[in-house]
Structures are given as structure tokens and as C-alpha cells.
A = this chain, B = another copy of it.
Amino acid sequence: MKWIEGGVCAAQGFRAAGIHVGVKTHASWKKDVALIVSDVDCAAAAVFTKNVVKAAPIHVDMAHLADGKARAIVANSGNANACAPNGEENAERMCAAAAKAVGCRAEDVLVSSTGVIGQTLNVEAIEKGMPELYAALERSPEASDAAGHAIMTTDTVKKEAAVETMIGGKTVRIGGIAKGSGMIHPNMGTMLCFLTTDCAISSAMIKTALLAAAKASFNRISVDGDTSTNDTCCVLANGLAGNTPIEAPGPDYEAFLEALQALCVDLAKRMASDGEGAKHLITCSVSGAASEESAEIISKSVISSTLTKAAIFGADANWGRVLCAMGYSGEAFQPDKVDVRFASGAGEILVCRQGRGVGFDEDLAKKILTEHDVEIRIAMGEGSGACTCWGCDITYDYIKINGDYRT
């Protein structure tokens, strides 16, 4: 498996575009609609937010995915089309406009929206811009880049990645673009992720693979603990790689899942790292837990702790907050077996042994925590369960961005 260029256009037979049509009226990122189209029909699957309040596009996508097939994805930024007047009607109109341009059924188009909640989507702007958007489609790194920019909201950097692997003697590619900045929390906080692959795989198996990959990636990041109404991660698989179709578990499926999961983890970490206002990517690795599930719950509790996030922002080796966040995770464990270390490119330092503070070099700790990528390593001494989750610090800029997002 290797990392390659091209993002959502890396796989054969996928074209993309991103342009400005006018949904965003005052955002700094001008592009606001993206289109991703496969040359042929695809096996398709998606995972959605678990929020009870679901945006209109999610209801539409659930219906459109009933047959496990799709051909295109259309997405806008600047308006979430959630709790908004005429939500489903407008989401369907986006699909219809894309379908007309592509020449496919509206039911074969998936739709996503991200942005402010509760305001009517300017669907006319999207319909009017569709011919231009369709005309801009191409298979190139630049086209993936344009689509990646078109789904950004408060993101400061575009998220894009692609991998290549061998399956049954054939070269298979998987690529993706994603957005997500604030409001990202396990169980799909506000994030959009569109994945494309030329792997030949059944609708059932692509769905199984996506669920597994999302569980180990997007569901293990947190920016602010808020889970949004719009989160969607979908994948289109068009089969053009020519491998023997994957229709059951086995070595081919494992190879595909490994690549898909690596891609999702990479995109998830990019999201956490670009959390609104974030200055640090925080990795929390828990080992020696009673089970993987227990390790995951504890790790998520630590990366979600506002106090731990504030301490990392201040490069303060305040391991007491780590232990505290473990303690209110809801998991049972023995505090006096817990070791905590902080690590980064600048080194590693033990700060808590068996639940008690140990003397440590404050200067080295400060140096370690001043790096952009910092890791909290927790050894629990309970069993062999391990899990890694990712988050970011909370900063003045987070407050600034979210104190006046809507107006």
C-alpha cells in the first residue's frame, strides 16, 4: 500500500469539480458546490450522524442508497440544509439538477450540505450553476483540489488523500476529500467525507468495509464534543480496476479494508488537526486496558476533556486532568495502576506512575508539549485492550470562530 496524489480523482473513472455558485455570500472560501461523478454505476455506501436531528440531505441519501448503488455526489457548503424550510425538497432538487447534467437517475445521486443550520438553502443558485459545475468536471489533482475546497466551511486547510494497493494482481486506488473543523466528535461530528475507489466490490461488502473503517477513524476523533446534524461519509466503488469482485470476506477484502482504513485514519487526523482554532493535534494512546472497547471509551474521554485540551494549549503537563478525564469516562479501572507519559518529536516523559505524580523535568515537558503533534500515552495495567483516538487543543480562536459563526 502506498500514498499517492489525486485525491478523489485518484481512482480510475472518477471526475470532480468545485465552483462558486452563490450559496456562500460572505465566507472566505469562495467555492461552495462540489460534484463528483463516476463514468459508470457504482456500488455505494454511507455512514451518517447518529444525531436525532438529521439534516434533510441525510434523509434523501438514505432513500437513494436503498439499492446500494450511486453514480454521483453533489455537495454544498455555506448552508447545512438542516432544520430549514423545504429541506428535503431542496435536497431532492440538488440531486435532480446533478442527475440531469450527468444523465443519470436522481436516485443515483447522493447529496450533502454543510454550513449554518436553520436557513433556507439557496437551491436556485445551485440549479443555475449546475451546467458550469458539470462542464468543469475533470479527472485531475486540480479537480479534486477544487472539490475539496468547495466543501470547506471554517476549515483552514483542504483535506485530501489517496492510496494505492494491489488486490488480486490489479492496482486498486482509493481516494477521498473531507471537511470538518468544529463540531467533530465520535459518531460523526460535522464532517463530510467523500471516498471513491475503482475496486470491484459488492454493495454489501463496501458497506461492511466502510462501517469498519469509520469506526476506527472518524468515530475516534473529537474537536469539541458536539455531534452535528449533517455528518456523512460515503464511498463510491466503480469496479474499473478490473479485480475479481470482492463479494465476501477473505484476503482481497482484508487488503481493501486495510487501505480504506488507512485512508480514513489519515483524513480523520487531518480533521482533528484542523479543529477550529487548533494549534495541536492530540493523539491519545491507551494500552493495557481491560478491553479495546474500554480503551476506546477512556481515550475518547481524554481527548474530549475541555480541561485537558486547555492544558495542551498551554503546553502544561497537567496529567491530573488526564487521570480525571479517565475517571469520569464511565469505565471502571484501578487508578493506582495507571502510568501516563507525554510524547512528541521532542521526546517522551513519564509524569505519572501507578496513579501518583513523579518528579519530572518541567523544561523537557514544556518542550515536548510545544510541538504541534503531541501524544498522551496511557498504560493501564488492566489487560491487553488498546485504542488510539485523536483530538485537538481548545484555543482563543475556537471561541472567536464560534462566538459569531452565524451572523
Contacts and interface: CB of A to CB of B under 8 A. Distances in A.
Interface of A: 50-54, 80, 82-85, 116-119, 182-183, 185, 187, 224-229, 304-307, 310-311, 313-314, 316-321, 323-329, 331-333, 335, 352, 355-357, 362, 394-396, 398-407
B226 A53 contact: no
Contact of A314 (B50, B313, B395, B403): B403
Contact of A321 (B117, B185, B317, B328): B117
B399 A328 contact: no
Nearest to A318: B406
Nearest to A298: B52
11 contacts: A52-B333, A116-B320, A183-B307, A226-B324, A227-B324, A310-B398, A310-B401, A311-B405, A316-B406, A318-B405, A396-B399
Nearest to A228: B324
Contacts of A395: 399
A7 B314 CA distance: 37
Q: 3 closest pairs, A vs B, by CB?
A: A117-B320, A314-B403, A53-B327
A321 B117 CA distance: 8
Contact of A117 (B53, B119, B323, B399): B323
Contact of A118 (B226, B319, B332, B333): B319
A307 B402 contact: yes
B310 A403 contact: yes
B229 A327 contact: yes
Contact of A306 (B224, B229, B356, B396): B224
A326 B83 contact: no
Contact of A396 (B307, B332, B333, B396): B396
B117 A85 contact: no
Contacts of A313: 399, 403
A193 to B, nearest CB: 19
Contact of A335 (B83, B85, B321): B83
Contacts of A324: 51, 53, 82, 117, 183, 226-229
B335 A226 contact: no
B119 A357 contact: yes
Contacts of A329: 52
A154 B380 CA distance: 31
A310 B400 CA distance: 8
A305 B52 contact: no
Given A118-B352, A311-B406, A399-B396, A50 B316 contact: no
Contacts of A319: 118
A323 to B, nearest CB: 5
A52 B320 contact: no
B403 A326 contact: no
A110 B324 CA distance: 23
A118 B357 contact: yes
Contacts of A80: 320
A80 B320 CA distance: 10
A278 B313 CA distance: 19
Given A83-B335, A352-B118, A227 B311 contact: no
Contacts of A314: 402-405, 407
